[in-house]
Amino acid sequence: MFESAEVGRSVDKKEYEKRVEALRTRILKAQHALADTHLRLVVLVGGVEGGGKTEVARRFLDWMDPRGLQVEAYGDPSDEENERPEYWRYWRTLPAAGHGAILVGSWYTRPIVARVFKQIGSGGFDQALDRAMAFEAMLVREKTVLVKLWLHLSKKEQKRRFKELESDRDTAWRVTKQDWEFSKKYDRFRGTCERALSKTSVAEAPWTVIEATDRRYRDLAAGEAVAAAIETALKKAAATGPKPAPDRAKPPRVSILSRLDLGMRLEGDHGKKFEKQQTRVALLSRRLRKEGRSLICAFEGVDAAGKGGSIRRLLAAIDVRNARVMAVAAPTDEERAHPYLWRFWRNLPRLGHATIYDRTWYGRVLVERVEGFCAKEDWTRAYAEIAAFEEELTESGVIVCKFWLQISPEEQLRRFKDRVKTPFKQYKITEDDWRNRKKWDAYQAAAVDMIEKTSTPDAPWTMIEAEDKRWARYQVMKAVADRLEEELG
């Protein structure tokens, strides 16, 4: 893979100046065209130490409009970053639509270094690469012009470059002890990077390997790759596909939902039974911080299924100083300018904290599917994207509880009517609720698909028979307690 980046490519000064002039006009035009679209630009600048990643980033800031273009370099994670999944720092620095980011270092850095120094095996390495690929595939489908540049130097050239930098008082600081340490492992780095690049150079997000020996050639090649990528994406974006259509599937006659026994009632001393579970949650949730864990409870269900009541009671058990309720309503314009999962990433709880979601990221495969707010290919790929998201959560120590609250259409009607006539409940009922009710079957079909496709051992769905409110609240509380007990030991 790297042989063709050791052939001695170079550009003389005169040709460079001519080409730079043309490139600047071209890349600036492309950048400004992109600013008016829903596309964002993400440029990964990777490569060997001494290859000039930062110099290339600086060149982009110089050639392009630095407004709306940020350079991100990822050093040691901060404590807030350490308290979230690994990719949180990439999500939080993801540019909005119309903007761009030049990443010096990226999600490849940690796995490559860890593999070279044998902190992970080849299985762990491939797993990390799979995650990178899934993330990139999501970015590309969520309107990102993703350009992956790799700056290559031969072993000999790297050594020469370090010595050159060290010999000048003004640049000597740029060669660190770590650089020399890494350079001793050049061959191992080369093999590891080759593996990473060949595995992750896919059609939708290919790597451009650039021979970085000659700075002029390197900068031109980098600039031209970015200009070309934006131009291609703009052309593609201009050719708009058909308008997404609502999905009005019928649920199967017999399904995981239809088999629920909505006749379940909480018998006996309700209060005492419920309180017992609530106390369990109270005591267990207090241990989250100490155990280095956090908690996410996600609630889905048709309107009036009882999500709010269950959430209110959960809140009464958890230490409110560490808990937050996130009600998922229409996204803000900043949220709209990012991939659909961004609004959930940005609100992830810190260690010891809990976030309770009143509706969730599953909106993509429920309301967005049924109402045709996104294309079929968007909601079908979402199952895997969501599974990957939840895997990142659970891997990093988040305990994920997901609830589907099931009621019958008759019970929903009773509750709607009750809301209409009770003054302090009226705010809960809107025109939308009545409209959605007419699409009952489509929502049930979407829910069945969702539960079947996204129930995993670490992030299982708990289906709650919610016809009887007491039973539902008891079951939710018990499920959270059981889950906490299982996870915290």
Interface residues toward a second copy, by CB under 8 A: 24-25, 28-29, 32, 54, 57-58, 61-62, 65-71, 73, 78-80, 104, 170, 173, 279, 283, 286, 308, 311-312, 315-316, 319-325, 327, 332-334, 358, 423-424, 427
Whether the Cβ atoms of residue 356 and residue 314 lie closer than 8 Å to each other: yes
Which three-class secondary structure state does DSSP give residue 125? Answer: helix
* Nearest approach, Cβ of residue 202 and a second copy (Å): 28
* Nearest approach, Cβ of residue 68 and a second copy (Å): 6
* Nearest approach, Cβ of residue 18 and a second copy (Å): 15
Select 183 or 322, whichever has its Cβ closest to a second copy. Answer: 322
Pick the closest to residue 418 from 304, 315, 293, 253 (CA basis). 304
Whether the Cβ atoms of residue 150 and residue 208 lie closer than 8 Å to each other: yes
* Nearest approach, Cβ of residue 98 and a second copy (Å): 11
* Nearest approach, Cβ of residue 376 and a second copy (Å): 29
* Nearest approach, Cβ of residue 203 and a second copy (Å): 31
Select 52 or 251, whichever has its Cβ closest to a second copy. Answer: 52
- Residue 40 has φ and ψ, to the nearest 5°, of -120, 160
Q: Can you tell me which residue has the tokens 């995650």?
A: 131
Select 92 or 110, whichever has its Cβ closest to a second copy. Answer: 92
Measured on CA atoms in the order 95, 194, 212, 26, is the torsion positive or negative?
A: negative
Select 185 or 290, whichever has its Cβ closest to a second copy. Answer: 290
Select 70 or 201, whichever has its Cβ closest to a second copy. Answer: 70
Select 3 or 333, whichever has its Cβ closest to a second copy. Answer: 333
CA 181-182-188 angle, to 5 degrees, is 125
Select 110 or 199, whichever has its Cβ closest to a second copy. Answer: 110
Q: Which long-range contacts (CB under 8 A, 24 or more apart) does 341-345 make?
A: 341/91, 341/138, 341/385, 341/386, 341/389, 342/91, 342/94, 344/389, 345/87, 345/88, 345/91, 345/92
Chain center to CA of 76: 20
Select 160 or 174, whichever has its Cβ closest to a second copy. Answer: 174
* Nearest approach, Cβ of residue 154 and a second copy (Å): 25
Select 204 or 334, whichever has its Cβ closest to a second copy. Answer: 334
* Nearest approach, Cβ of residue 456 and a second copy (Å): 28
* Nearest approach, Cβ of residue 283 and a second copy (Å): 8
Pick the closest to residue 225 from 149, 145, 282 (CA basis). 149
Residues 186 and 43: their CA atoms lie apart, in Å, by: 25
Whether the Cβ atoms of residue 334 and residue 358 lie closer than 8 Å to each other: no
Residues 12 and 8: their CA atoms lie apart, in Å, by: 13
Select 277 or 454, whichever has its Cβ closest to a second copy. Answer: 277
Other Cβ atoms within 10 Å of 92 Cβ, number? 15
Token couple for 374: 């996104």
Start-to-end Cα distance in the chain: 49
Residues 103 and 107: their CA atoms lie apart, in Å, by: 10
Token couple for 51: 């290859």
* Nearest approach, Cβ of residue 158 and a second copy (Å): 20
Select 361 or 379, whichever has its Cβ closest to a second copy. Answer: 361
Residues 86 and 398: their CA atoms lie apart, in Å, by: 12
* Nearest approach, Cβ of residue 423 and a second copy (Å): 6
In the DSSP assignment, the letter for residue 289 is T
Residue 364: C-alpha distances to residues 246, 340, 379, 443 (Å): 12, 8, 6, 12
